[in-house]
């Protein structure tokens, strides 16, 4: 059992040494090399986590009287792993800052430029907001005008329909009157 644990320890030591070396190289690399190095370090960190899990399983199978020594080793390995992950995170942050600066065309020491850029963007945003509000007002007014027109058209339709009914009634009355007059003339 302990020989398996010691084998895992050796693998962990070699892997952490490689990871430490690669983490130190990340900020110095550029472009695709840097992306590839970051991917490699992530892969190695995952391997190191798996080794720690295997070591924990081995510690659980070690007899209780020897387990204390191995447990303290595991704590130190976990601390080392936490330190490696924190170092990698810091190197990635530096990496992401560099990428951001590349994308934004920022040289890193232009806080005045950033402030001016921020003020400019704020003004643009305010202008856009005013335009949107004006557009919204126009849309509301147009909607109100449209509703008024629909109401007027509805009223006009009702008037036309009533007029048509009156015309039909008048036509019918004229027809009756014509028949009555025709009948009176014949007599």
DSSP classification of residue 105: T
The confidence band for 174, taking pLDDT boundaries of 50, 70 and 90, is very high
Distance CA 45, CA 55 (A): 15
Is 80 exceeded by the pLDDT of residue 14? yes
Q: How far apart are CA 24 and CA 115, in angstroms?
A: 33
End-to-end Cα spacing for the chain: 137
Task: Report the pLDDT averaged over residues 52-76.
Answer: 85
């Amino acid at each position: 059992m302990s020989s398996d644990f010691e084998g895992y320890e050796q693998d962990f030591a070699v892997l952490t040494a490689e990871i430490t070396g690669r983490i130190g190289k990340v900020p110095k690399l550029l472009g695709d090399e840097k992306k590839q190095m970051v991917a490699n370090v992530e892969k190695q960190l995952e391997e190191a986590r798996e080794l720690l899990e295997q070591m924990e399983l081995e510690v659980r199978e070690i007899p209780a009287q020897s387990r204390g020594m191995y447990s303290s080793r595991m704590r130190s390995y976990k601390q080392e792993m936490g330190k490696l992950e924190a170092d990698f995170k810091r190197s990635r942050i530096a990496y992401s800052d560099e990428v951001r600066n590349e994308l934004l065309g920022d040289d890193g020491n232009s806080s005045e430029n950033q402030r001016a850029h921020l003020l400019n963007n704020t003004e643009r945003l305010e202008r856009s907001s005013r335009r949107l509000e004006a557009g919204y007002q126009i849309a509301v007014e147009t909607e109100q005008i449209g509703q008024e027109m629909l109401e007027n058209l509805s009223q006009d339709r009702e008037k036309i329909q009533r007029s048509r009914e009156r015309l039909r009634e008048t036509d019918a009355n004229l027809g009756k009157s014509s028949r009555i007059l025709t009948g009176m003339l014949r007599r």
